[in-house]
Amino acid sequence: MISMELTDISGAYRCDSQPSWYAVHVKSRHEFKVVERLTKSGVETFLPAVERLSRWKDRKKLINFPLFPCYIFVHMHKIYEVMLTVLKTQGVVRFIGINQCEPEPVPEDQIIYLKKAVESKETLDPYPYLKEGQRVRIKMGPLAGVEGVLVERKGQHLLVLSVDILRQGVSLKIDALEVERV
């Protein structure tokens, strides 16, 4: 996808291409509220979250936890007014990007793979960011087509899905026979 951006005299961005996904840093424990506020403002958002069983002394309850604490994703054109709407939203800290001045798009396939993994209801765990390693694709099942890095930990195979711009990732347990090299 080629992004065509122009800056006019006022410094506002105009964009004639497709919208892109951008990572947004938000205040700690504000992820769900920021998503709610942005959605009300008409901005498409994605917050990868998983349910975990929380235990207190008197009860247990399933709670939604963000996979990437303090980060959400927004799908938008890189237009000054839209960027300003996001930045003015209560709880938003900044866009993630080059020198903290220029938002950098997240590759579309990374968002698609994350959405597919979250929707599959498989066990997802945060995993350290990996850039090196063998890239693989799942061949069958509900996650067919999802690509990531195959790693082994304590005798189990994991598929690590990375979000480059956040330098973070998530892992899910897989059978190594279910994957093929990319």
If asked whether residues 70 and 113 sit together in one domain, one would say no
Contact 150, 162 (CB under 8 A): no
- 137 and 68 share a domain? no
pLDDT at position 68 is 94
Backbone angles phi, psi at 88, to 5 degrees: -85, -5
The pTM of this model reads: 0.76
> How many independent structural domains does the chain possess?
2
pLDDT at 133: 64
Of 46, 71, 106, the position where a domain reaches its end is 106
Which of 54, 74, 106 is the last residue in one of the domains? 106
Considering the domain architecture, whether residues 63 and 93 belong to the same structural domain is answered as yes
Nearest CA among 52, 97, 51 for reference residue 74: 97
Tokens representing 14 are 């105009």
Q: Can you give the CATH number for the domain in which 55 is found?
A: 3.30.70.940
Is residue 102 scored above 60 in pLDDT? Answer: yes
Q: Which long-range contacts (CB under 8 A, 24 or more apart) does 66-70 make?
A: 66/31, 66/32, 67/114, 67/118, 67/124, 67/126, 67/170, 68/126, 68/163, 68/166, 68/168, 69/28, 69/29, 69/31, 70/25, 70/26, 70/27, 70/28, 70/31
When comparing pLDDT for 53 and 114, which is higher? 114
**Residue 170 pLDDT exceeds 50:** yes
The pLDDT score that the predictor gives to residue 8 is 40
Contact 140, 176 (CB under 8 A): no
Ranking 35-44, 129-138, 165-174 by mean pLDDT, the lowest is: 129-138
57 lies in which domain range?
A: 5-106
